[in-house]
A and B are shown apart, each in its own frame.
Chain A
Amino acid sequence: MAEQVLEGLRAPPAPAAPRVTLRELTGCTLTALHGPQGLLAGLPQRPGWAALPGGTAIWTAPGQWLWMGVPPPVPPAHATPLNGARCLLELDGPLATELLATLLPIDLHRRAFPHGAAAATQGAHVPLLVWRAANAFRLACYRSYGLALAGALVAAGRGRALAYAGATPWAPEPAAPADAA
């Protein structure tokens, strides 16, 4: 079980009417899956994420996925436990896209990055994965970078009514509709 990575994150008090909220997601079991495409039914074949029984799979490289949730039924040779190797963050609210655009160089417009999209990129010089759930963005970075990335998000939240809501238990993202736009 992952405990809070963001110990000591300095954030201003939450505003009365937040327009973007930052949370740390804790308690998520992480596994790296590696092997052929057919390792598990429903694994994304290109950058993106998919909701599968028991968890969420995010494409990270050809033949590699980040699995979040109960370790899936794959042979041990194709799974590597990651323990608490990632800091997981969630951002939502009407200004979430604009805030992320100050740090991330990729196109986050709904048409270019719809519900179901995922990308490996960097923000504030921190390598990270970003994906769009129904009404929120989720980010994963190496745990050791967690405080730095969260600090950069809090700094970008100045003037954007950001509320840091502390830690929340991770729950799988609801699946993207098949015709997500």
Chain B
Amino acid sequence: MRILCPYCGDRDAAEFTTIGSAPPPRPAPDAPMAEWHAFLHLRDNPAGLHAELWQHSQGCRQWLRVMRDTRSHAVAGAEACRS
């Protein structure tokens, strides 16, 4: 699998590490526990385009939001999280 890092260019996925699904926004500190549970545990599992977080750990070390199609593995795009 290859990922087009917006900084380093097209690279093999072996240079990256992933935490899987991109988490939803972190709840506010005083949000009810149910929201924190959902934040920690609940993720969509689509057959299709899926947003994931990958870090280019053996490259520029930037965290990227990658859109990957879970059926075909096609990577639709990768953008830096901090931008």
Q: Which residues of A contact B (CB under 8 A)?
A: 46-47, 60-62, 105-106, 119-122, 127
Contact = CB atoms under 8 A, between A and B. Distances in A.
Given A105-B15, A106-B11, A122 B62 contact: no
B17 to A, nearest CB: 12
Given A47-B7, A62-B7, A120 B60 contact: yes
Interface residue range, chain B: 10 to 19
Interface in B44-83: 57-62, 80, 82
B65 to A, nearest CB: 15
A127 B11 CA distance: 14
Nearest to B58: A122
Nearest to B2: A105
B80 to A, nearest CB: 8
A144 B83 CA distance: 33
Given A105-B14, A105-B15, A119 B58 contact: no
B12 A105 contact: yes
B1 to A, nearest CB: 12
A47 B8 contact: yes
A122 B7 contact: no
A121 B9 CA distance: 11
Contacts of B59: 119-121
